[in-house]
Amino acid sequence: MLDVIWLIPALPLAGFLLILLFGRRLGDPKAGLLATAMCGGAFLVTLLTFFDLLSKDAEERSHVVTIFSWLPVGGLKVDAAFLADPLSITMALFVTGIGTLIHLYATGYMKGDPKFSKFFLYLNLFAFSMLMLVLGENMLVTFLGWEGVGTCSYFLISFWHTRESAATAGKKAFVTNRVGDWGFMVAMFLAFQAVGSLSYSGLNLAAEGGVLSKSTATAITMMLFIGACGKSAQLPLYLWLPDAMEGPTPVSALIHAATMVTAGVYLMVRVNPVIATAFSWAPAVIAVVGAATALFAATVAVAQTDIKKVLAYSTVSQLGFMFLAVGSGAYVAAIFHMVTHAFFKALLFLGSGSVIHGMHHEQDMRRMGALRALMPVTAGTFIIGWLAIAGVPPFAGFWSKDEILLSAWAYPNHQALYKILWGVALVTALLTAYYMTRQVVMVFFGKARWEDHSGDHGAHGDFKPHESPAVMLLPLVVLCGLSVVGGVLNLPFTESTKRLLHWLEPIVHFGEIEPHESAGVKWGLAVGTAALCIVSIGVALAVYQRHKLRAVEPQILADGWRYDRFVSWFMGKPGRDAFEATAWADRTIVDGAVNGVATAVRRTGGVVRRTQTGFVRNYALLIGGGVILLLGWFLLRALGVL
Amino acid sequence: MIAVATPTPTWYLLLAALLFAVGCTGVLVRRNPLVMFMSIELMLNAVNLSFVAFSKAYTDISGQTTVFFVLVVAAAEVVVGLGIIVAILRRRPSANADDIAELKG
Amino acid sequence: MIELLVFIIASLMVVGGALGVILRRNPVHAALSLILTLFGVAVHFVAMEAHFLAAVQVIVYAGAIVVLFLFVIMLLGVDKAEDLRTEPMLRQRILGPIIGVGVLGLVGAGILVARSRTIVRNATGLDPEVAADGTLNPDSNVKQLARSLFSDYVFAFELTSVLLVIAVVGTVLLARRPNKGLQAARDKAGVNA
């Protein structure tokens, strides 16, 4: 099975082509089911490949399948090749697994939409691109997938493009990603210049072998991190993600929760030897940005009123956690959190989609409430997801978050800084519990605020929220189960329970920094964090359910610290001024120099023209003058003067 | 008794230089094409004179051979030049050297 | 003594004639001055033992070339005096003599400098008194010239004959009157004949 890993991206690609040709004819729901089947098929192949790898010894779990030689150009040899190793198969597993579930969900969610088949066209294309990204053997194949997911993200965010806000959001996502892509490209150039190859094995072996200089490794790390900031929505390039909620909810779940935004984290984990070789301030920068983003987004999420925007900011915040893990040398923890986050965030998004669907496309939480009785399955699974993300044991989120906090606390270099970052992460975790509780209470508990506005919605007559169809509930249930047991992947109790760590060891052995703390400290941190999270939940309940405390939702938080406005102003004024100055420089200096040369030549010609009088005798005069000069020169030379 | 001096080749060369200068001035100052031509002949003669003087100075006959050729070529040149002048002046008897400027453009 | 006198007289003829060429307003007078110069140069040739060249100078230059000049002057009726007083290009009249003087000065200086550094053999004839093998070599000037011309420079000699043919043919073509048909076409087109 290892030899046919090319099937994994090929199946969604086939789905894309089939829907392209026959989608209109297949229609609703067959096109959707075809797409789901393709994604499911990819999942099956991935699963079989996974078992194949399991059966091998740890050292042999790396298999490259080359499809063809892509760019044999001079010193650059890039193949279209796929790499099957623990990290890529892990990524592929949850991409295809959760992808299949979301495809299934979308067949129900998008029912009745006039562009039904087109949606699945894009979804399959996205799946193909994402799989190229994670299975790529070298940076160029990954970059191909990277750009592909960016493009599909654009298509899917602006799926309902007749809505002005959706079209704008799509453009915003694409342009912001592009800024990050520049970083990726520069990193590729640097890697090629330093190592002569773009493949991960070449780069990582060079880093492990000490061939890569510290400054080059740092430069590559920072450039890749810029790319990751764009794709994974970290400060300052996060601003596309909240706006991306304009797309249909399955899109938000798949792309902006589980898969595309994790590409940045995947990339950093993939090149962990390079990060380990860099100057010690490089991982610190990554950690600081991650922690800052996490806190920033969490504060904003506290004041959001749109059900999806809360989850969007929550995603940004959790991604910040993952980058904090990367910066603390805890790559396994980052992947662990990525996987558990994929489970519960997809669950939460799909759940919110179910709510939106049941509320006839109402998204404002202030107009919801008391939906628990009317949508029991949705509510139940959503509550499990809430507990998972809030970090309540024994659900999945607790274990992964706890590991990240431990790694930050125990990081060996820059200890004071990392203790501060630990504090920031802790506060963020508390805020996460707080705002998620707020969301659950506002949506499912309390008084039903929707009955008041039944006149606003031109829905089919009697406005009563209803539960979603089975095809949408099934994925919710599956994800709920995974969120419950997901922690099993990497329980920290004994060596044998740290399954993920052992599984990923061949990839991260060079860069992984295991926290060395006494068991007492570890237990203390874990229990303390869990206790504080539960307290935070209690506070939120007091505010929003029992209304004992006043809600603190300042406008500045709702505006996202006015960051969007700041960027618009910056681009509008100082940015624009810089652009105008550059354009002026180009016009005046560069063009001026070129035109100036032409003008100088013309003027000189105009002056020299006067010697052409047309009179032969003038010419004879000039010849005579020349003769005199020559004679004089020769004479003086003979006399030894010249 | 007046001091006698035998003319040395240097004297001849200086004479040739003088003749050449006079011819040069004539070309630059006169406008009549025929007179300009004659001034050119003066310059050629000056050159012949200097060649023969050198031939005497170095007892080498090739100076005189050169003069022979100069003479032949000068003759040919005069023939062609006068033919051109005839062709031009036949149309416009009052033409002078400055009128060549009207050929431009 | 005699040589000095001959030199002075011939030089006066040369310079006088030259000044006459450039200063006389009437082109016929200028041509006659030219003849004077050419005779003077011929005398110099004789003084320098270039007898053949002196003869050729008189026959070809003075006898044929200047006559040709006079033919053209008479034929075209350009013997009217040129107005020397007006000069449309004032610069010419000032710079021309300056350049002439300049050339004279520089060439003269060059001659003096060069001659002061070379040894001059004051032989009266062109044959060395004693040849390399010790015998006297009293060939005449014509013989010497002929020997040089037809052995060392025979190729150039042949080329000059070709040149003469070309010159003659070319000039005949140049100076022809256009034939009747061409003239009629020119009249039709309005080109001034």
Neighbours of C161 (CB within 10 A): 10
Whole-angstrom CA distances from C161 to A136, A555, B73, C60 are 87, 110, 10, 15
d(CA A111, CA A116) in angstroms, rounded, equals 7
DSSP-derived letter for residue C50 is: -
> Strand A76-84 relative to strand A63-73: parallel, antiparallel, unpaired?
antiparallel
Structure tokens at A274: 């390079």
Cα A219–chain centre separation? 20
Q: Which of residues 53-82 of B touch C (CB under 8 A)?
A: 53, 55-59, 61-62, 64-65, 67-69, 71-80, 82
**Which residues have a Cβ under 8 Å from the Cβ of A581 and sit 6 or more positions away?**
none
Residue B69 backbone phi and psi in degrees, to 5 = -65, -40
Q: Do B57 and C121 touch (CB under 8 A)?
A: yes
Q: What is the pTM of this model?
A: 0.65
Q: Do B28 and A613 touch (CB under 8 A)?
A: no
pLDDT, residue A407, reads 86
Give the neighbours of chain B: at least 3 Cβ pairs within 8 Å: A, C
Give the confidence band of C126 by pLDDT, cuts at 50, 70, 90.
very low
d(CA A562, CA A554) in angstroms, rounded, equals 12
On whether the CB atoms of residues A195 and A201 are closer than 8 A, the answer is: no
Q: Is C138 on the interface with B (CB under 8 A)?
A: no
Q: Is A542 on the interface with B (CB under 8 A)?
A: no
Q: Do B10 and C50 touch (CB under 8 A)?
A: no
On whether the CB atoms of residues A26 and A119 are closer than 8 A, the answer is: no
Q: Is A617 on the interface with B (CB under 8 A)?
A: yes
Residue position matching structure tokens 């003769």: A627
Q: Do B85 and C72 touch (CB under 8 A)?
A: yes
Give the confidence band of C134 by pLDDT, cuts at 50, 70, 90.
very low
Cα A320–chain centre separation? 11
Q: Do B98 and A621 touch (CB under 8 A)?
A: no
E strands, A149-281, in order: none
d(CA B86, CA C176) in angstroms, rounded, equals 10
d(CA B105, CA B50) in angstroms, rounded, equals 42
pLDDT, residue C161, reads 93
Per-residue model confidence as pLDDT tens digits over C69-105? 999 888 877 656 555 556 666 677 788 889 999 999 9
Residue C34 backbone phi and psi in degrees, to 5 = -60, -40
On whether the CB atoms of residues A128 and A99 are closer than 8 A, the answer is: no
**Which residues have a Cβ under 8 Å from the Cβ of A623 and sit 6 or more positions away?**
none
pLDDT, residue A320, reads 92
Among positive and negative, which fits the CA dihedral A60, A62, A68, A71? negative
Helix (H) or strand (E) segment spanning residue A282: helix A281-301
HSE at residue A303, side-chain half, CA atoms within 13 A, is: 15
Quote the minimal CA–CA distance from B99 to chain A in Å.
8
Which residues in chain A show pLDDT less than 50? Answer: 452-454
The CA radius of gyration of chain C, in Å to the nearest whole number, is: 23
pLDDT, residue B7, reads 84
d(CA B14, CA A176) in angstroms, rounded, equals 89
Q: Is the peptide bond before A283 cis (omega within 30 degrees of 0)?
A: no
Structure tokens at B61: 């006959």
Mean pLDDT across chain C: 81
Cα A447–chain centre separation? 37
- The DSSP string of A97-109 is HHHHHHHHHHHHH
Residue C81 backbone phi and psi in degrees, to 5 = -70, 140
Q: Is A634 on the interface with C (CB under 8 A)?
A: yes
pLDDT, residue B10, reads 87
Read off the pLDDT of each residue in C31-56 and give the average, rounded to a whole number: 94
- A163: amino acid identity, one letter: R
Neighbours of A562 (CB within 10 A): 13
pLDDT, residue A42, reads 92
Helix, strand, coil tally for chain C in percent (to 5):
70, 0, 30
- The DSSP string of A62-127 is -EEEEEEEEEEETTEEEEEEEEESHHHHHHHHHHHHHHHHHHHHHHHHTTT-TTHHHHHHHHHHHH
Quote the minimal CA–CA distance from C130 to chain B in Å.
12
Among positive and negative, which fits the CA dihedral A271, A274, A276, A281? negative
DSSP-derived letter for residue C60 is: I
A228-262: b (≥16 Cβ within 10 Å) or e: bbbbbbbbebbbbbbbbbbbbbbbbbbbbbbbbbb
Residue A64 backbone phi and psi in degrees, to 5 = -110, 130
Residue of B nearest to A618 (CA): B28
- The DSSP string of chain B is -PPP-PPPHHHHHHHHHHHHHHHHHHHHH---HHHHHHHHHHHHHHHHHHHHHHHHHTT-THHHHHHHHHHHHHHHHHHHHHHHHHHHHHH-TT--GGGGGGG--
Give the confidence band of C138 by pLDDT, cuts at 50, 70, 90.
low
On whether the CB atoms of residues B68 and C56 are closer than 8 A, the answer is: yes
Contacts of C93 in chain B (CB under 8 A): 29
Widest distance between CA atoms in chain B = 68
Whether B1 has a pLDDT exceeding 60, the answer reads no
Q: Which of C96, C106, C114 lies closest to A621 in CB terms?
A: C96
Give the confidence band of C34 by pLDDT, cuts at 50, 70, 90.
very high
pLDDT, residue A134, reads 92
Q: Is the peptide bond before B33 cis (omega within 30 degrees of 0)?
A: no
ipTM entry: 0.89
